[in-house]
């Protein structure tokens, strides 16, 4: 049987996973998304077009690749239909190519109202969620009263579940008449959209194992980044779905013996969206320069991303917990023009934590020489300036994993393979 290749982000998300999954999908039979929901944003540029995906697997941009969504993801039926239509409007059909696990949990419209109120109640302790109802969906999953896609095939049970969660939102938030009417309108759209999406319902585990048995390569695509994982990330400023490589097996229904490659995606600097600790953050002109050069604004929310120097300690930590066999370094071209670049190689006092005391970490930096030559779109390693190559070597050394490829631009083929 053909092995599974897992692709995960090693920072706080937005590392360029979508672009690299699309690039790798050239040789794949299927790409399967294994975590998160519509709170994620993967951007792919191909054939002169720019695609912004949220839950759909990035591999669907390639017309001969099957796209799958695993059971550990959460799905807003209305949102995913909008994504599907957006692809179709750009000439990319998912007909007979999209398979969604019947076990996936659905985001009821009331969950968004609950999450927004919850964030508001936190005041100064806000997590910085996208407000898309992801957290409440996972909460109900573990309370064992969530709505699954497969529930739509039992109409009576499905409507009963939907009504329960509608009433729960109304009662918990004390909605007035206008708010209730707005919610009920959204619920009607939710019911209709679920019926439409049900055509893609599938036993994803069985489908993946069939592809593997036929010697097809499956790429398991993660969402967000390892530092947002609820177990291993910067808790409590994390997401609710697991972001590390091990979650692929659980969500997609294959055993760990099927995995031979885990590729970690690292941005050449560090970014973060929302609240939470960020040891190497540059809240100054340098940070703003990186933001503008890298177009660092959220695909899902449009929020400006916080920017900072590359954190080698966190990179090494993430590579370890994911069992990475290789690393792809992205957005190296964004650092062109800096006289000097810094990499965090440790923290004062040799301290390390990803918990509530993470904001107390003080980075220790190594300074490297910058370069001025434009490397955007470069595809040959030997054509990179010596300073750029030394920067890659420094990342490789502290991450402890070979950097096998370097992305030098947003285009599908703007990649250097070493």
**Which is more confidently placed, 351 or 124?**
351
Residue 224, pLDDT above cutoff 70 = yes
| Cis ω for the linkage preceding 268 (within 30 of 0) | no
**Residue 118 confidence (pLDDT):** 73
Closest CA to 219 of 2, 20, 32, 412: 32
Angle at 192 between CA 131 and CA 39, to 5 degrees: 20
Q: Which of the four pLDDT bands, split at 50, 70 and 90, describes residue 376? A: very high
> Quick one: residue 163, left, alpha or beta (phi over 0 = left, psi -120 to 50 = alpha)?
alpha
C-beta of residue 91 within 8 angstroms of C-beta of residue 47: no
Q: Annotated catalytic, 176?
A: no
* List 14, 22, 311, 333, catalytic entry: 14
Task: For residue 187, give every residue at least 6 positions away whose Cβ sits within 8 Å of its Cβ, in sequence order, or none.
Answer: 108, 109, 110, 162, 166
pLDDT tens per residue across span 266-314: 999 999 998 899 999 999 999 999 999 999 987 666 789 999 999 999 9
| CB-neighbour burial class of residue 64 (10 A; exposed 0-12, middle 13-18, buried 19+) | exposed
Confidence of residue 241 (pLDDT cuts 50, 70, 90): very high
d(CA 365, CA 369): 13
Q: What is the mean pLDDT of residues 190-205?
A: 98
> Is the pLDDT assigned to residue 102 strictly greater than 90?
yes
Q: At what angle do helices 109-122 and 177-197 cross, to 10 degrees?
A: 130
Take residue 28 and report the two structure tokens written for it: 């794949």
Is the model's pLDDT at 201 over the cut of 80?
yes
The burial of 150, by beta-carbon neighbours within 10 Å (0-12 exposed, 13-18 middle, 19 or more buried), is given as: middle
pLDDT, residue 74, reads 96
pLDDT at position 126 over 80: no
Cβ–Cβ < 8 Å for 346, 401? no
Helices and strands in the chain: count of H runs, count of E runs: 11, 19
**pLDDT value for 51:** 82
Tell me which residue of 109, 67, 105 sits closest to 84, measured CA to CA: 67
Q: What is the pLDDT of residue 48?
A: 76
Please identify which of the residues 22, 23, 42, 54 carries the catalytic annotation.
42
Tell me, yes or no, if 42 is annotated catalytic: yes
**How does the average pLDDT of the chain come out, rounded?**
93
Neighbours of 167 (CB within 10 A): 11
**For 148-162, how does the pLDDT look when each residue is reduced to its tens digit (9 = 90+)?**
999 999 999 999 999
**What pLDDT does 44 receive?**
79
Distance, in Å, from the CA atom of 83 to the CA atom of 54, rounded to the nearest integer, reads 8
Residue 360: which of 375, 369, 347, 376 has the closest Cα? 347
């Amino acid at each position: 049987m053909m092995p599974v290749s897992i692709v995960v982000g090693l920072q706080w998300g937005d590392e360029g996973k979508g672009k690299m999954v699309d690039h790798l999908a050239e040789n794949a039979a299927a790409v399967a998304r294994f975590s998160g929901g519509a709170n994620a944003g993967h951007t792919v540029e191909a054939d002169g077009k720019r695609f912004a995906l949220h839950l759909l697997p990035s591999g669907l941009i390639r017309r001969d690749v099957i796209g799958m969504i695993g059971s550990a993801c959460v799905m807003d039926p209305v949102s995913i239909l909008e994504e599907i239509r957006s692809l179709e409007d750009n000439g990319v059909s998912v007909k007979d190519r999209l398979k969604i696990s019947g076990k996936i949990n659905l985001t009821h419209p009331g969950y968004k109202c609950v999450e927004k109120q919850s964030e508001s109640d936190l005041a100064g302790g806000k997590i910085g969620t996208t407000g898309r109802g992801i957290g409440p969906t996972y909460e109900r999953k573990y309370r064992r009263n969530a709505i699954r896609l497969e529930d739509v095939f039992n109409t009576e049970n499905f409507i009963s579940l939907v009504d329960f969660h509608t009433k729960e939102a109304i009662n918990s938030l004390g909605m007035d008449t206008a708010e209730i009417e707005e919610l009920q309108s959204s619920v009607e759209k939710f019911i209709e959209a679920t019926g439409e999406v049900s055509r893609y319902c599938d036993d994803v585990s069985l489908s993946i194992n069939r592809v593997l048995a036929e010697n097809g390569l499956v790429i398991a695509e993660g969402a967000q980044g390892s530092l947002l994982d609820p177990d291993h990330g910067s808790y409590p400023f994390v997401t609710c779905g697991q972001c590390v490589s091990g979650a692929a097996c659980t969500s997609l229904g294959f055993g760990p013996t099927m995995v031979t490659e885990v590729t970690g995606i690292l941005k050449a600097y560090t970014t973060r969206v929302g609240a939470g600790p960020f040891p190497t953050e540059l809240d100054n002109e340098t940070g703003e320069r990186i933001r503008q050069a890298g177009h660092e604004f959220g695909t899902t929310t449009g929020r400006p991303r916080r920017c900072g120097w590359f954190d080698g300690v966190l990179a090494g930590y993430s590579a370890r917990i994911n069992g990475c066999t290789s690393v792809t370094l992205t957005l190296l071209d964004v650092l062109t023009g800096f006289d000097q670049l810094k990499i965090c190689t440790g923290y004062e006092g040799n301290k390390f934590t990803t918990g509530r005391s993470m904001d107390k970490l003080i980075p220790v930096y190594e300074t490297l020489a910058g370069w001025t030559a434009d490397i955007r779109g470069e595809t040959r390693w030997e054509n990179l300036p010596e300073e750029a190559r030394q920067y890659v070597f420094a990342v490789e050394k502290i991450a402890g994993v070979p950097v096998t490829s370097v992305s030098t631009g947003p285009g599908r083929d703007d990649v250097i393979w070493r």
